[in-house]
């Protein structure tokens, strides 16, 4: 209701309706309660039923006229006339109250009903004329909630004023309310007549027949009207008979009787508002089944509860005992369910009516409802006179509720199942939906979702706010359950192996329909994404419709999926569903046939990957991400181990981190950069998580640097305190380095001493603190870690990675890979290396995969034994380390490994061959940079192309710039994983953020049509030889092919004749240039690529990360040249 005039109009009609309802129920309640207190109980019940019948009888007699006139005459004018008649009746009511005559009062009730009969179609026809269809449920809900508040007030006032001495006040109140109603009617704006030429029959019954025909001309509206009629009929029985029964059973007075009727009216109003909230503006019969079940259950409870009431116990017996509270609760639930049941059905009737007959259709509904109320009132009255006890009446109502549930299923099969699904599945799985508005996308659309459980289909069927065909594997569609429900659910059999089989469904979508598709074609075996079948990709592409991606998280650990190794199964898992905005499948129009299906398949795979990334990237910080992992995976399972015999569960990590956090809050300042000088053992992640919980920044130092470089890094990062371990300092032999740090004024926080300070009091506090993700407010923009570049091409810089950067890179890796709790990870990479920190520790910690941490990758004989003992399935390393481990390992040491993931340096063909032939393991090469958290691209078992580093991860934008004289292009990237910025030496903590978010990787790359990236070399690692650009990486690759067992490195040095020359350094004994030249000629490689000199060294210097230490190598070559000179 965005139009101001429509809002004013709506408010005016609501106020007018509320005042009318208040007057009606003031008089009705006064009559019923007055009769209940004035005549014998059996007669009081009859009077109550008669009052209800007389109030409804005019709706049966005159609704036809009322509906026709409401469409023929301008509605505001009609409403004013009706309200004037109400004022006249209020004056007559005063005389009736003075006389105290029950027959006269009953006659007055009939006249008030007549006035209401003419007002009903006007009110109900007014709403759809001025509101959109998606506003009808909310408008009716608030209108009816307000009406029931008026009913409540009328009942309370009528009951309280029903005594012989105060009855006169009822008439006076009715006059005042009628005057206010007339005033409100004159605020209604006038509009156009809906059907000015509509004839008005002389015979009111003929008018009734006409409006009933209008109602029943639409089957859906007719079915909704019949169900709605049932509720209002049984509701009238409750309101009419309860006062007499409670007086007879409990000896209740007018206060009790009024309270009970008010409770019923309030329950209907509350249910109406709940319906509006649940349906979110959708006009639907979805709530008919769950609310009908609620009414039926509560009705049986009410019937049984009445028999348990203590006779003569009065107000205390009803509101002060367990039996009485059970009755009160059951009565409220009947009314609450009724509000949820009736109001959406009324909105459905309104929405189905044509513009020129809305009032007539609603008049037909009023007639039907009135016939139901009058009919059931007469039947119950006759039953009471024949000796039927009131308890049996209530039991009969409960039985009819069961019949209404059956009717709801028969009348609205699809909507009933959707409503039941929402009522059961949403609370069962505590479902959270992000982007729910996209589930109501109109027009042609395909909803695509990952597939993790048997409940995926039923859950999404319940949530999608439109009729949708569900694409199901042909074998499943033939099953005993789905084959019977195929028509109701809209099952569309789909053979993922036969793309063209989906042609009919694609045409239906293209014509304006919707479909729900699970592109993976099967339930995931590990909880992550599986491959996309070409058949489903073809369907999505052929439909030429927007695609709404959906990601389900949580059901993979439920009891309604196949067991996943290492995944704890829960009966009530927390489920999160993320729904993306509609988007198009990016397939160029000029691609045809099989090539088009392949492109569509990859595009759909990327869409699912993006959707999974967006869902997994929802955490504010690393502690929040770990907190979610702790809840998702079994907290008592071991998460981190090390060779020292330490085995930490997620629960122990959380407790340890909470204890360290509290301690570090006392010893460090908020946001302080704290140095970390620790080995890769299980305790290190606990310290890191403790720092992050406390809102501190971990500046992870390289212990192999020596005192001077380390002091430079410390100055760059602004570090004043360093956390380290005495045992580590001693074993690493860096006592002199640490002593120098202390001499320079740095404070050393020894983990041994910190741990000793965590006594019983701190442990108790940690137990409670660990229940929350963090101890301070954290956001994704806040810095989490400072890592230092390797220094292979100059002085190290401090790379600031925010919580958001690291969380995003972990989410990107989880979206691309299937790493999960079934895996066992071995990481021997150091923590100060971004690959070791993110991929080696944080990724498995968040993905539920237990990780074995080993402190040194250089122990080539021990690492394979550790892998064998840990039964590792995944191992992370660089080419240097993988080669070293592979050569010294037994053929069985890596028997459990399913993949080795490599980064930091190019993987040589010889290393691939070694792992493939000796262990049967594929090396999956990736590419990254510390500044990117670090992973940028990665090959996977699903998509692996040798010679490349894979395709870019989700949500990474790439920009390729020409590099003059070089074959390839310079790579720039932008994405959520790209660093916050650099800390540079001498800038005193100033953060140098990448301009526009773009980071220059410094790499020269090529990218093929499928998006796979090939690294040509570093922009700085090209030599300009005689005006030609020569790749040092290409020279190294050539040498590595010839001498696969040797370590090789290419350097450029000044040359007086050609400007620069390429020198190849190798550990291969007897290596000569002529071997390189012959190999280049054989492979068709230009002679200029062949290094001009070959230098043999016993050992080439390496960084701790395994990369060649080019600055050290250059210094060694320069020193050697100087000695020769």
User: How confident is the model over 594-631, as pLDDT tens digits?
Assistant: 888 888 889 999 999 999 999 999 888 999 999 988 88
Q: What is the mean pLDDT of residues 354-376?
A: 76
pLDDT of 45: 62
In this structure, the number of other CB atoms found within 10 A of the CB of residue 890 comes to 12
Lowest mean pLDDT among 199-208, 293-302, 1077-1086: 199-208
Residues 6+ apart with CB under 8 A from 219: none
- Mean pLDDT for the chain overall: 82
Contact predicate 108/93, CB 8 Å: yes
Distance (Å, whole) CA 719 – CA 734: 19
Q: Taking the complete model, does pTM exceed 0.85, yes or no? A: no
pLDDT of 1: 40
pLDDT of 164: 59
pLDDT of 49: 65
The tokens for 960 are 């390729």
pLDDT over threshold 80, residue 1111: no
Lowest mean pLDDT among 568-577, 759-768, 1112-1121: 1112-1121
Looking at residue 197, what DSSP letter applies?
T
pLDDT over threshold 60, residue 793: no
Distances (CA, A) of 740 to 706, 747, 893: 10, 11, 42
Residues 6+ apart with CB under 8 A from 1119: none
Lowest mean pLDDT among 31-40, 116-125, 662-671, 850-859: 31-40
Confidence tier at 566 by pLDDT (50, 70, 90): confident
Rounded to 5°, the CA angle 739-740-743 comes to: 90
Q: What is the mean pLDDT of residues 748-770?
A: 88
Confidence tier at 648 by pLDDT (50, 70, 90): very high
**Most confident range, picked from 248-257, 427-436, 1045-1054, 1077-1086:** 427-436
DSSP-derived secondary structure for 810-861: HHHHHHHS---TT--EEE-S-TTSHIIIIIIIIHHHHHT--EEE-S-TT-TT
Higher pLDDT, 525 or 54: 525
Distance (Å, whole) CA 1017 – CA 999: 17
Distance (Å, whole) CA 1087 – CA 257: 105
The tokens for 1069 are 């004994």
The tokens for 346 are 């009324």
The distance from CA 125 to its chain's CA centroid, rounded to whole angstroms, is 39
> If phi over 0 gives left and psi between -120 and 50 gives alpha, with beta otherwise, what is residue 430?
left
Tell me whether the omega of the peptide bond preceding residue 375 falls within 30 degrees of 0, making it cis. Answer: no
Where do we find the tokens 């199942």? 417
Confidence tier at 138 by pLDDT (50, 70, 90): low
pLDDT over threshold 80, residue 773: yes
Q: What is the mean pLDDT of residues 156-177?
A: 70
Residues 6+ apart with CB under 8 A from 544: 444, 510
Distance (Å, whole) CA 112 – CA 100: 18
DSSP-derived secondary structure for 16-42: HHHHHHHHHHHHHHHHHHHHHHHS-HH
**Most confident range, picked from 84-88, 913-917, 1098-1102:** 913-917
In this structure, the number of other CB atoms found within 10 A of the CB of residue 1027 comes to 8
pLDDT of 640: 94
Contact predicate 842/667, CB 8 Å: no
The tokens for 685 are 């992640």
Q: Residue length, the chain? A: 1125
Of the candidates 536, 609, 615, which has an alpha carbon nearest to the alpha carbon of residue 579? 615
Distances (CA, A) of 713 to 703, 786, 1052, 1111: 11, 10, 28, 17
Q: What are phi and psi of 515, to 5 degrees?
A: -140, 150
Q: For each of the domains in the chain, give its residue range(s) and CATH number, in order of start.
A: 4-186+203-416 (1.20.1250.20), 429-616 (3.40.1130.10), 624-970 (3.40.50.12780), 1021-1125 (3.30.300.30)
Percent of the chain with pLDDT over 90: 22
Where do we find the tokens 């209740």? 252
Q: What is the mean pLDDT of residues 554-560?
A: 88
Distances (CA, A) of 829 to 74, 672, 852, 879, 1101: 82, 26, 11, 12, 18
Q: What is the mean pLDDT of residues 804-814?
A: 95
Where do we find the tokens 């080795």? 900
Distance (Å, whole) CA 816 – CA 819: 9
Give Dmax over CA atoms of the chain in angstroms: 132
The tokens for 47 are 């009077």
Of the candidates 996, 949, 1004, 955, which has an alpha carbon nearest to the alpha carbon of residue 977? 955
Contact predicate 414/488, CB 8 Å: yes
Looking at residue 309, what DSSP letter applies?
S
Q: Which stretch of DSSP H or E encloses residue 1016? A: strand 1013-1018
The yes-or-no answer on residue 870 being catalytic is no
The tokens for 910 are 């010889």
Confidence tier at 2 by pLDDT (50, 70, 90): very low
Where do we find the tokens 């202390």? 742
Q: What is the mean pLDDT of residues 836-842?
A: 92
User: In the chain, what is the straight-line distance between the N-terminal and C-terminal CA atoms, in Å?
Assistant: 90
Percent of the chain with pLDDT over 70: 86
Residue 1124: half-sphere exposure toward Cβ, Cα within 13 Å: 6
Q: What is the mean pLDDT of residues 838-851?
A: 93
DSSP-derived secondary structure for 1095-1117: EE-S---B-TTSSB-HHHHHHHH
* Exposure class string for 219-257: b at 16+ Cβ within 10 A, else e: eebbbbbbbbbbbbbbbbbbbbbbbbbbbbbbebbbebb
The tokens for 957 are 């934008």
Distance (Å, whole) CA 90 – CA 83: 11
Distance (Å, whole) CA 934 – CA 838: 7
Distance (Å, whole) CA 347 – CA 341: 11
**What pairing do the DSSP bridges indicate for beta strands 981-983 and 798-802?**
antiparallel
Q: What is the mean pLDDT of residues 435-446?
A: 88
What sign has the CA pseudo-torsion 733, 734, 736, 738? negative
The tokens for 828 are 């021997």
The tokens for 416 are 């009933």
Distance (Å, whole) CA 288 – CA 217: 21
For the stretch 191-244, pLDDT in tens is: 777 667 667 776 767 777 877 888 888 888 888 889 988 888 888 787 777 777
Looking at residue 134, what DSSP letter applies?
G
- CB-count exposure of residue 765 (10 Å: 0-12, 13-18, 19+): middle
pLDDT over threshold 80, residue 486: no
Which of the residues 392, 438, 451, 803 is marked catalytic? 451
């Amino acid at each position: 209701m965005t139009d101001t005039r429509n809002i004013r109009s709506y408010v005016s009609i609501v106020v007018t309706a509320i005042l009318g309802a208040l007057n009606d129920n003031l008089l009705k309640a006064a009559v019923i309660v007055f009769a209940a207190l004035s005549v014998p109980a059996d007669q009081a019940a009859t009077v109550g039923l008669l009052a209800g019948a007389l109030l409804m009888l005019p709706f049966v007699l005159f609704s036809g006229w009322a509906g026709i006139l409401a469409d023929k005459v301008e509605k505001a004018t009609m409403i004013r006339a009706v309200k004037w008649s109400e004022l006249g009746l209020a004056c007559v009511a005063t005389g009736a109250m003075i006389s105290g005559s029950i027959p006269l009062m009953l006659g007055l009730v009939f006249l008030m009903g007549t006035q209401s009969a003419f007002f009903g179609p006007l009110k109900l026809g007014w709403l759809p004329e001025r509101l959109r269809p998606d506003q009808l449920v909310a408008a009716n809900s608030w209108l009816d909630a307000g009406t029931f508040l008026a009913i409540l007030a009328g009942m309370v006032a009528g009951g309280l004023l029903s005594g012989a001495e105060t009855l006169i006040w009822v008439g006076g109140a009715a006059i005042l309310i009628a005057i206010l109603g007339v005033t409100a009617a004159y605020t209604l704006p006038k509009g156009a007549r809906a059907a000015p030429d509509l004839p008005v029959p002389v015979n009111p019954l003929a008018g009734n027949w006409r409006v009933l025909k209008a109602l029943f001309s639409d089957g859906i509206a007719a079915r909704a009207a019949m169900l709605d009629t049932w509720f209002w009929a049984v509701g009238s029985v409750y309101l009419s008979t309860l006062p007499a029964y409670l007086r007879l059973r409990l000896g209740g007075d007018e206060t009790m009787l009024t309270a009970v009727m008010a409770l019923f009216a309030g329950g209907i109003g509350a249910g109406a508002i709940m319906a509006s909230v649940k349906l979110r503006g959708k006009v639907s019969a979805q709530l008919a089944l769950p609310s009908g079940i609620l009414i039926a259950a509560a009705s049986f409870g009410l019937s049984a509860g009445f028999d348990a009431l203590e006779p003569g116990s009065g107000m205390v017996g009803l509101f002060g005992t367990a039996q009485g509270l059970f009755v009160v609760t059951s009565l409220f639930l009947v009314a609450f369910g009724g509000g949820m049941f009736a109001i959406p059905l009324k909105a459905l009737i309104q929405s189905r009516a044509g513009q020129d007959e809305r009032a007539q259709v609603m008049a037909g509904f009023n007639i039907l409802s009135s016939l139901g109320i009058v009919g059931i009132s007469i039947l119950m009255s006759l039953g009471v006179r024949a000796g039927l006890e009131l308890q049996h009446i209530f039991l009969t109502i409960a039985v009819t509720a069961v019949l209404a549930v059956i009717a709801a299923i028969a009348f609205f099969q699809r909507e009933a199942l959707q409503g039941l699904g929402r009522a059961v599945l949403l609370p069962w799985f505590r479902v959270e939906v992000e982007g729910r508005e996209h589930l109501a996308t109109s027009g042609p659309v395909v909803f695509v979702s990952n597939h993790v459980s048997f409940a995926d289909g039923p859950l999404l069927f319940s949530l999608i706010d439109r009729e949708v065909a569900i694409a199901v594997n042909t074998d499943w569609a033939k099953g005993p359950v789905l084959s019977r429900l195929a028509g109701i659910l809209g099952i569309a059999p789909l053979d993922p192996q036969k793309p063209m089989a989906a042609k009919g469904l694609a045409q239906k979508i293209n014509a304006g329909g919707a479909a729900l598709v699970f592109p993976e074609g099967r339930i995931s075996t590990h909880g992550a994404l599986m491959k996309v079948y070409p058949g489903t990709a073809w369907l999505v592409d052929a439909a030429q419709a927007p695609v709404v991606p959906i990601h389900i998280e949580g059901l993979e650990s439920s009891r309604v999926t196949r067991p996943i190794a290492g995944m704890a199964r829960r009966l009530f898992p927390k489920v999160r569903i993320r729904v993306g905005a509609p988007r198009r499948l990016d397939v160029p129009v000029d691609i045809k046939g099989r090539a088009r299906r392949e492109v569509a398949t990859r595009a759909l795979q990327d869409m699912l990957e993006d959707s999974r990334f967006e869902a997994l990237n929802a955490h504010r910080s690393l502690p929040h991400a770990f907190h979610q992992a702790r809840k998702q995976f079994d907290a008592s399972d071991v998460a981190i181990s090390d060779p020292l015999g330490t085995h930490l569960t997620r629960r122990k990590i959380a407790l340890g981190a909470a204890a360290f956090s509290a301690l570090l809050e006392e010893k460090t300042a908020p946001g302080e950069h704290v140095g970390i000088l620790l080995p890769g053992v299980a305790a290190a992640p606990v310290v890191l998580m403790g720092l992050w919980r406390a809102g501190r920044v971990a500046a992870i130092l390289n212990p192999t640097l020596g005192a001077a470089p380390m002091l430079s890094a410390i100055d760059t990062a602004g570090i004043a305190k360093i956390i380290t371990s005495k045992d580590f300092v001693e074993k690493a032999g860096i006592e002199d380095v640490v002593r120098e740090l202390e001499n320079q004024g740095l404070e050393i926080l020894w983990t041994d001493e910190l741990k000793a300070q965590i006594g019983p009091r701190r442990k108790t506090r940690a137990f409670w603190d660990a229940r929350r993700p963090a101890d301070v407010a954290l956001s994704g923009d806040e810095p989490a870690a400072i890592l230092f570049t390797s220094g292979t091409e100059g002085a190290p810089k401090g790379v600031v990675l925010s919580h958001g950067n690291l969380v995003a890179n972990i989410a990107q890796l989880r979206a691309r890979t299937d790493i999960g709790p079934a895996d066992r990870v071995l990481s021997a990479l150091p923590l100060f290396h971004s690959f070791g920190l993110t991929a080696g520790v944080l990724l498995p910690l968040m993905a539920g995969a237990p990780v074995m941490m080993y402190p040194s990758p250089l122990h080539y004989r021990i690492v394979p034994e550790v892998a064998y003992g840990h039964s590792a399935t995944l191992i992370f390393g660089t080419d240097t380390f993988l080669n070293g481990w592979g050569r010294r390992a037994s053929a069985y040491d890596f028997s459990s490994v399913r993949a080795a993931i490599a980064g930091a340096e190019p993987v040589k063909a010889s290393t691939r061959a070694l792992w493939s032939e000796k262990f049967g393991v594929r090396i999956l090469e990736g590419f990254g940079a510390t500044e990117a958290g670090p992973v940028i691209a990665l090959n996977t078992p699903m998509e692996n192309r040798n010679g490349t580093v894979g395709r870019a991860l989700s949500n990474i934008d790439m920009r390729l710039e020409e590099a003059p004289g070089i074959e390839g292009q310079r790579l720039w990237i932008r994405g959520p994983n790209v660093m916050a910025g650099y800390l540079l030496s001498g800038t005193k903590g100033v953060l140098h953020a990448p301009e526009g978010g773009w980071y220059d990787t410094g790499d020269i790359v090529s990218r093929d049509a499928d998006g796979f990236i090939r690294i040509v070399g570093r922009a700085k690692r090209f030599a300009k030889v005689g005006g030609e650009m020569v790749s040092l990486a290409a020279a190294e690759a050539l040498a590595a092919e010839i001498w696969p067992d040797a370590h090789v490195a290419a350097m450029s040095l000044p040359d007086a004749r050609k400007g620069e020359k390429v020198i190849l350094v190798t550990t291969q004994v007897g290596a000569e240039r002529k071997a390189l030249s012959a190999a280049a000629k054989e492979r068709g490689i230009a002679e200029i690529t062949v290094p001009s000199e070959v230098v043999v060294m016993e050992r080439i210097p390496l960084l701790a990360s395994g990369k060649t230490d080019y600055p050290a190598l250059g210094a060694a070559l320069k020193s050697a040249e100087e000695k020769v000179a």
